[in-house]
Amino acid sequence: MPLDHYVTLGRSGLKVSPFCLGAMTFGTEWGFGSETKDAGAILDAYVDRGGNFIDTANIYTGGNSETIIGDWFALDAGRRDRIILATKFSGNMEPGNPNGGGASRRAIIASCEASLRRLRTDYIDLYWQHWADPFTPIEETMAALDDLVRAGKVRYIGFSDTPAWKVAEAQTIARLRGWAPLIALQIEYSLLERTVEGELVPMAQAMNLGITPWSPLRSGLLSGKYDRDNRQAESAGRANSLARHFSDHAFEVVDLVKAIADAHGATPACVALAWLLVRPGVAAPIIGARTMAQLDNNLAALDLSLDPAAIARLDAASQPSLNFPAEFLPMAVANSYSGLTINGQSFTRSAR
């Protein structure tokens, strides 16, 4: 699948590449990441391959990620209109100011204006709520986002890192009031983070939200460069986020990914990404790259087709334990349709 074989995002007419380029690592302010020149080269390579979907956030590298992208746009006046640009609000850029972050009307509008300035653009294609705000009514958030859409400063909206019930509430309110609907959901999703399959993924499918998974390689663990004997992060800034993912189960999955990669003549990263690309509801995983080699390695997953047996092995090894009632319902529903086949799914009565 080439990078320029686009997909529509959720229930919208927005066409995006099957891999989104994540810009969290643009800038070195967090102790890791790409220098400005290297980030520009990565952007050039991604676009040259046909990529058109870039994702950042107001707080990434203290705002420098947005600035790097804005400066890159300024080098070529024709670039902006070819790119689907996504950024996020919620992060507080004003320490000590309780109204500097979150999802209030005040914070959303101020964050949007600041992002527009850093990005050197007059509109944002996809504006994400970065995470749920427990202190702001959802009606206020959705009304403010609708105002930005009507003003032409934002084209589409989405939610990231928000409970399924809150996303469903927001989408229902938007539909009832004729406000701009959510079109996408950004969540952590990988072979080592599948608990989203309990509530978030089914909700996204029912609500017509395109899923854009972040950390598809689990902070690099699924790239295969770490194992039981090598747990040293490449930089101090990444050490904590990586170390919390180390476990016996994680390394068992990584071992299988490596074995399947060897059998397919691919890299572990390619296998992990290829598996994610075919998951139900997934539109465009967000890949990060600090170097050109990492970008090339990630994009190679578009050319890898895993056989059914390999997918089944990966599914079994990474099977998550889901919250109630996700694991109970299939057994319960069997009591409604025992001995029948509905929409291709056959049911046998469960033991009581």
Domains along the chain with CATH numbers: 7-307 (3.20.20.100)
- Which 3 state secondary structure label does DSSP give 128? strand
What's the pLDDT score for residue 235?
Answer: 54
What's the pLDDT score for residue 79?
Answer: 94
Residue 351 has pLDDT above 50, yes or no: no
The structure tokens listed for 31 are 């102790």
Mean pLDDT of 101-112: 98
- For 319-335, what is each residue's pLDDT tens digit? 999 999 999 998 899 98
- For 169-194, what is each residue's pLDDT tens digit? 999 999 999 999 999 999 999 999 99
Share of the chain above pLDDT 70, in %: 95
DSSP state of 229: T
Residue 129, strand partner residues: 89, 159
Which band of pLDDT confidence, cut at 50, 70 and 90, is reported for residue 248?
confident
- For 266-311, what is each residue's pLDDT tens digit? 999 999 999 999 999 999 999 999 999 999 999 999 999 999 999 9
Task: Give the C-alpha separation, 125 to 86, whole Å.
Answer: 6
Q: Does residue 1 contact residue 18 with C-beta atoms inside 8 Å?
A: yes
What's the pLDDT score for residue 224?
Answer: 87
Which band of pLDDT confidence, cut at 50, 70 and 90, is reported for residue 225?
confident
Burial 5-39 (b: 16+ CB within 10 A, else e): ebbebbebebebbbbbbbbbbbbbebebbbeeebb
Mean pLDDT of 330-350: 87
Q: Determine how many CB atoms are found less than 10 A away from the CB of residue 216.
A: 28
Q: Maximum distance among all alpha carbons in the chain?
A: 67
Task: Give the C-alpha separation, 170 to 101, whole Å.
Answer: 19
- For 199-224, what is each residue's pLDDT tens digit? 999 999 999 999 999 999 998 899 98
Residue 242 has pLDDT above 80, yes or no: no
CA distances from 114 to 40, 59, 77, 149 (A): 21, 11, 21, 16
- In single-letter form, the type of residue at position 80 comes to R
Mean pLDDT of 78-98: 96
- For 111-153, what is each residue's pLDDT tens digit? 999 999 999 999 999 999 999 999 999 999 999 999 999 999 9
Residue 240 has pLDDT above 80, yes or no: no
- For 148-168, what is each residue's pLDDT tens digit? 999 999 999 999 999 999 999
- Catalytic residue selected from 60, 127, 156, 189: 60
Strand locations in 17-61 (E): 20-22, 53-55
* Bridge pairing between strands 341-342 and 345-346: antiparallel
Residue 68 has pLDDT above 80, yes or no: yes
Residue 158, strand partner residues: 128, 184
- Which 3 state secondary structure label does DSSP give 264? helix
Task: Please say if 123 is a catalytic residue.
Answer: no
In this prediction the pTM is 0.93
What's the pLDDT score for residue 27?
Answer: 96
- Mean pLDDT (the chain, rounded): 94
Q: How far is CA 135 from the centre of its chain?
A: 24
DSSP state of 230: B
The structure tokens listed for 324 are 């109630």
Q: Taken in order 270, 271, 276, 278, is the CA torsion positive or negative?
A: positive
Q: Does residue 273 contact residue 301 with C-beta atoms inside 8 Å?
A: yes
- Which 3 state secondary structure label does DSSP give 71? helix
Share of the chain above pLDDT 90, in %: 85
The HSE-up count of residue 86 (CA atoms within 13 Å, CB side) is: 30
